[in-house]
Amino acid sequence: MKRVITYGTFDLLHKGHIRLLKRAKALGDHLTVCVSTDEFNAEKGKKAYTPYEDRKYILQAIKYVDEVIPETNWDQKINDVIENNIDVFVMGDDWKGKFDFLKDYCEVIYLPRTEGISSTKIRQDLGMKTK
């Protein structure tokens, strides 16, 4: 079984998120999504509109997602890859190069973002703070 993992806040769920999850799942047989907790977001100076438990619940209902686990800190990725027997790490290409250190443990793929949509753009359009 080929196992894939991706990370994110997955707040204000939109088409770009679904496309990322669909393309990530297509790279393997099992997709684990690691979702930033509210506490971790606070450490990063971010605040999600939707609480962690609700974001987790929504992601669990998406057909491309097999498992959802919490992201509690920047440094857990190597352990997540090892402990979950991950073969492929996937992120949006706006993170290109930032996770190349994982290439010692698994394949690292940066996927193109969906044009014209992002959680930041939605927040801006609604007049919400982006951080």
Of the residues 2, 15, 22, 44, only one is catalytic, namely 44
46 is catalytic: yes
131 is catalytic: no
Helices and strands: H and E segment counts in the chain: 5, 5
Q: 94-130: string of b/e by CB count within 10 Å (b at 16+)?
A: eeeeebeebeebbebbbbeebeeebbeebbeeeeeee
Angle value at C-alpha 122, between 121 and 127, nearest 5 degrees: 95
Any idea which residues carry the catalytic annotation? 44, 46
